[in-house]
Chains A and B, each alone.
Chain A
């Protein structure tokens, strides 16, 4: 799965098991979403540390949308999928979809802690954290909204 591209090959072809969830744009709703990710990770026997990485990536995707997307319906639409590669590797995939104003991920400046020091802007780490913690990430965004698709292998 490549950054900024469309859904990866194999995703549609795999027999994914899917759970859908909608959460309101409201404080700590991202934690509600993480309980679903944790339950599915445990279901496939994913290690706790890997589940924690999925949970934090999901938290970051949710709070990014809460803060920046200006969702027209004040909701985030989440899909959790379990699947298996042809060679047998199991994965947990999380899709976070908002119908906000969208953004150009190429224009997002990469943060560093040095830039943060003595600057009012200490934020902007969400995408970097997501990309670092998940095995595959795809982001598509336009004026109709943003979709973050992220996958973690067991």
Chain B
């Protein structure tokens, strides 16, 4: 039954793209945070989180995403989301995440938004 979230990533210059696959709860959020912190500590300036394979993010998962956002802001970097379902998009806006992190429909638009180098 496990809906565990899998996280993968790729660097494009100083931008890291993180892809999630599955339910983002506390474990999923921690997986994302671990990968995000590795990328930020490794020199990434901006993170793009592509959630197109995730249909549910619970409030515990989002609270961990807020921690990631804080770390990005402390480093004067940028965080962008893309591939959100309408429900996840709505939830991020309810919680105010959209005031501090950009939300884009597609990964390409998100990469342009954070000024990533072209692949």
Which A residues contact B (CB, under 8 angstroms)?
Answer: 28, 30-32, 34, 49, 52-53, 55-56, 59-60, 63, 111-114, 116-118, 122-123, 125-126, 128-129, 132-133
Contact = CB atoms under 8 A, between A and B. Distances in A.
Interface of B: 1-3, 23, 25, 55-60, 62-64, 66-67, 70, 73, 85-87, 90-91, 94-97, 99-100
B32 to A, nearest CB: 14
Contacts, number: 76
7 contacts: A30-B58, A31-B3, A49-B85, A49-B86, A52-B87, A122-B66, A129-B94
A133 B87 contact: yes
A122 B67 contact: yes
Contacts of A111: 95
Contacts of A30: 58
B59 A60 contact: yes
- Interface residues of A: mostly helix, strand, loop or mixed? helix
A63 B59 CA distance: 9
A60 B58 contact: yes
B91 to A, nearest CB: 6
